[in-house]
Amino acid sequence: MCGIAGFTHFSGNMGDKDMLKKMGDSIYHRGPDAGGEYINEHIGLAHRRLAIIDLSDAGIQPMTSHDGKYIIVFNGEIYNFQTIRDELSAAGYPFKTHTDTEVILALYATEGEKMLSKLNGMFAFALWDTTSEKLMIARDRMGKKPLYYLQTETQFAFASEIKALLTLPNVPRDIRLDAVYDFFAYQYVPDPKSIFTHIHKLPPGHYMTIDASGVNIQQYWDVSFKHTSDESEEVLTQKLRELATHCTKQRMVSDVPLGAFLSGGVDSSGVVAMMATNSKTPVTTCSIGFDEKKFNETEFAKEVANKYHTDHHEFTVHQNVADNLEKIVAYFDEPFADPSLVPTFFVSELARQQVTVAIAGDGGDEVFAGYEKYTTDATENRLRNKFPKFIRKHLFPKLADLLSNSNATVFRKGKSLLTSLSQEPAMGFYTTNSQIDDRQWQKLAKQEVKEKLGDYHPSKITIDAYEKSDGPDHLAKILYTDMKTYLPGGILVKVDRMSMANSLEVRAPLLDKDVVEFSATVPSEMKFKNGEKKHILKEAFKPMLPDDILYRKKMGFSVPLASWFRHEIKDLAQRHLIEQAQGLKSIFNHNQVVTLWNEHQNGNADHSALLWSMLMFEMWWVKYAHG
Tell whether the model's pLDDT for residue 162 goes beyond 60. yes
At 367 the pLDDT is: 98
Summarize pLDDT for 464-513 with one digit per residue, the tens: 999 999 999 999 999 999 999 999 999 999 999 999 999 999 999 999 99
Tell whether the model's pLDDT for residue 61 goes beyond 70. yes
Phi, psi of 370 (to 5 degrees): -110, -10
Summarize pLDDT for 275-290 with one digit per residue, the tens: 999 999 999 999 988 7
Q: Do residues 232 and 217 lie in contact, with contact meaning Cβ atoms separated by under 8 Å? A: no
At 294 the pLDDT is: 66
Range scoring the smallest mean pLDDT among 184-198, 396-410, 569-583: 396-410
The whole-number average pLDDT for the span 588-603 is 96
pLDDT level of residue 77 (50, 70, 90 thresholds): very high
Q: What are the strands of the beta sheet with 258-261, ordered from one edge?
A: 311-317, 284-290, 258-261, 357-359, 505-507
CA distances from 303 to 65, 300, 310, 322 (A): 49, 5, 10, 31
At 59 the pLDDT is: 76
At 321 the pLDDT is: 87
At 580 the pLDDT is: 94
Pairing outcome for strands 258-261 and 156-159: unpaired
Instruction: Please list, in sequence order, all residues whose beta carbon lies within 8 angstroms of the beta carbon of residue 438, skipping any fewer than 6 positions away.
Output: none
pLDDT level of residue 49 (50, 70, 90 thresholds): confident
The whole-number average pLDDT for the span 180-190 is 98
At 53 the pLDDT is: 63
pLDDT level of residue 517 (50, 70, 90 thresholds): very high
At 544 the pLDDT is: 97
Residue 613, class by beta-carbon neighbours within 10 Å (0-12 exposed, 13-18 middle, 19+ buried)?
A: buried
Average per-residue pLDDT for the chain: 93
Note the residue count of the chain.
Answer: 627
**Helical packing angle, 474-484 and 372-386, nearest 10°:** 140
* Amino acid in position 374: Y
Q: Which H or E run includes 313?
A: strand 311-317
Pairing outcome for strands 2-8 and 357-359: unpaired
| Domains in the chain, CATH or no CATH each | 2-219 (3.60.20.10), 233-320+339-369+486-550 (3.40.50.620), 372-482 (no CATH), 561-624 (no CATH)
Q: Do residues 151 and 12 lie in contact, with contact meaning Cβ atoms separated by under 8 Å? A: no
Tell whether the model's pLDDT for residue 446 goes beyond 90. yes
Summarize pLDDT for 238-283 with one digit per residue, the tens: 999 999 999 999 999 887 889 999 999 999 999 999 999 999 999 9
The whole-number average pLDDT for the span 594-619 is 95
Higher per-residue confidence, 159 vs 398: 159
Supply the DSSP string of 426-461, one letter for each residue. Answer: HHHHHHHH-SS-HHHHHHHB-HHHHHHHTT--THHH
* Amino acid in position 321: V
Q: Do residues 200 and 215 lie in contact, with contact meaning Cβ atoms separated by under 8 Å? A: no
Range scoring the smallest mean pLDDT among 42-51, 182-191, 206-215, 285-294: 285-294
With CA atoms as reference, report the closest residue to 166 among 38, 3, 5, 337: 5
At 144 the pLDDT is: 97
Tell whether the model's pLDDT for residue 146 goes beyond 90. yes
Tell whether the model's pLDDT for residue 319 goes beyond 60. no
Q: Which H or E run includes 301?
A: helix 298-307
CA distance 166 to 153: 17
CA distance 89 to 126: 23
Asked if the peptide bond before residue 32 counts as cis, ω within 30 degrees of 0, the response is no
Higher per-residue confidence, 557 vs 322: 322
| List 2, 23, 283, 475, catalytic entry | 2
Q: Do residues 352 and 502 lie in contact, with contact meaning Cβ atoms separated by under 8 Å? A: yes
Tell whether the model's pLDDT for residue 392 goes beyond 90. no
Long-range contacts of 178-184 (CB under 8 A, 24+ apart): 178/453, 178/456, 178/458, 180/335, 180/449, 180/587, 180/617, 181/441, 181/453, 181/456, 181/457, 181/458, 182/458, 182/461, 183/335, 183/337, 183/613, 183/617, 184/435, 184/436, 184/441, 184/610, 184/613, 184/617
Residue 312: strand pairing partners? 285
Q: Do residues 62 and 37 lie in contact, with contact meaning Cβ atoms separated by under 8 Å? A: yes
Summarize pLDDT for 532-549 with one digit per residue, the tens: 999 999 999 999 999 999
At 408 the pLDDT is: 63
What b/e readout covers 287-309, taking b as 16+ CB neighbours within 10 angstroms? Answer: bbbbeeeebbbbebbbbbbebbe
Residues of the chain with pLDDT > 90: what percent? 81
CA distance 370 to 372: 7
With CA atoms as reference, report the closest residue to 436 among 422, 417, 416: 416
Residue 193: strand pairing partners? 200
Q: Do residues 618 and 581 lie in contact, with contact meaning Cβ atoms separated by under 8 Å? A: yes
Please indicate whether residue 286 is annotated as part of the active site. Answer: no
With CA atoms as reference, report the closest residue to 607 among 553, 558, 575, 564: 564
